[in-house]
Structure 1
Amino acid sequence: MKFPKDEDGQVLKMLYKEGVDFNKPQNVDFFVAVPDKMKGESVLKTLKNEGFECEIEQDEETEEWTCYCYVKMLLVYEDIVNIQKQLNDLSEPYEGYIDGWGVMTG
């Protein structure tokens, strides 16, 4: 299987090598970094209004806030890129930005 040579393509390649089934929908976690709790809650509300399943958490060590969005989907490069762009555009007014994605394996 061929993957684009960017960061998203590399993550997909790694998941493929780990034996993740690309023919079955996977639970993909998208991470949206937010500057603080108040802006994070605004991002959360906006994303939920757009149909995303999300929650906000603060990292105990770094004290940084992150809005986690969960999407059950096939691991298709273009779809992952498009969802990241959508999340980024929706969170930008609150100083949020997409900070990666992942799939639980094993």
Structure 2
Amino acid sequence: MNLFPRKFPKDEDGQVLKMLYKDGVDFKQLQNVDFFVAVPDKESGESVLKELGDNGFNCELEQDEDTEEYTCYCFVKMLLNHEDIVNIQKQLDELSKPYDGYTDGWGVMVD
């Protein structure tokens, strides 16, 4: 057992990582991380989907039935590392910006 608490940056991503760590997620195992890219409409979403796919991301476009908002979900199998998570979000942001999209967080399914 680790006697010293793990240190995480004090930003939003660091807080999510800290919560996952406290929930017992194994940071030494690859995790399925979902990154969310908000888009203004279906047409923009399809353009973002193509752009992200062309850049090696595995994504799908979904519409929320309640809000009718569109989101591209991008799936990345990776180790939970703050710097990598921040860098992927920056990359998704840059790729989706020409289509009025923007990164809107990320998550990991925990048992």
Corresponding residue pairs, total: 106
- Give CA-to-partner distance per residue, 1:52-93, whole Å, 9 cap, x none: 000000000000000000000000000000000000000000
Pick from 81, 95, 103: which aligns with 1:98?
103
What CA RMSD, in Å, does the superposition of the two structures yield over aligned residues? 0.3
Structure 2 distance, partners of 1:48, 1:24, is 25
Alignment-derived partner of residue 3 in structure 2: none
**TM-score, normalised relative to structure 2:** 0.95
Amino acid at match of 2:81: V
**TM-score, normalised relative to structure 1:** 1.00
Pick from 37, 40, 43: which aligns with 1:38?
43
Structure 2 distance, partners of 1:70, 1:17, is 23
Gaps of 5+ in 2: 1-5
Alignment-derived partner of residue 87 in structure 2: 82
Gaps of 5+ in 1: none
Larger radius of gyration: 2
Give aligned-pair identity as a percent. 76
